[in-house]
Amino acid sequence: MRVMSQLVWASALVVGCSAQALAADYIQGNERQQARAYSPAVITEGGRIIWLAGQTGGNTGSFETQAREAFHQLDLTLKRAGGSLADMVTMTVFINDPRNGDRLTELRREIFPAGRYPGSALITVSNFAVPGILLEVQGVAVIGDRCSSTNPCAPR
């Protein structure tokens, strides 16, 4: 049942991200940047800027469970603002075990389809404010900007 609920949640997240207009101009990264699932830059013009507070996935469960919940919380917040995770342009992810970095990359590929990855920093910390927390994600989203892959703001 738990696996099924994770699959349903992941599917809904991907559909929600895919349904968004292709706003923002995500600069394609080099081979290493693409392999780590982040963009070196995201260009926006206009739109509303949403500054997202750090979200955790609680302090129980595996790294993956906590990561999925943190992104789910960010998505819920963005939906309240009229957007979704597809509108994120940058994020900072704090983890307490660098061995979880590769799994985070896999999750980002799943959550941000079509290579439209936010700019990203991954920082290892020694502890969080609450014991058991394994990661925290904060970010910035832009909703309704004029840049897109079909209307780039950056010279090609």
Count other Cβ atoms within 10 Å, centred on residue 32.
8
Q: What is the pLDDT of residues 50-104, one digit of tens each?
A: 999 999 999 999 999 999 999 999 999 999 999 999 999 999 999 999 999 999 9
Q: What is the pLDDT of residues 28-50, one digit of tens each?
A: 889 988 888 888 888 888 899 99
Domain presence at residue 153: no
Domain hosting 115: range is 2-143
pLDDT at 44: 86
How much is the mean pLDDT over the chain? 85
66 neighbors 49 (Cβ within 8 angstroms) = no
Count of domains observed in the chain? 1
Domain presence at residue 16: yes
Domain presence at residue 61: yes
Q: What is the pTM of this model?
A: 0.77
Domain presence at residue 125: yes
Domain presence at residue 29: yes
Domain presence at residue 151: no
Domain presence at residue 152: no
CATH classification of the domain holding 67: 3.30.1330.40
Domain presence at residue 31: yes
CA-based nearest residue to 78, from 25, 17, 27, 8 = 17
Q: What is the pLDDT of residues 81-94, one digit of tens each?
A: 999 999 999 999 99
Q: How confident is the model at residue 145 (pLDDT cuts 50, 70, 90)?
A: confident
Only one residue has tokens 């738990």, namely 2
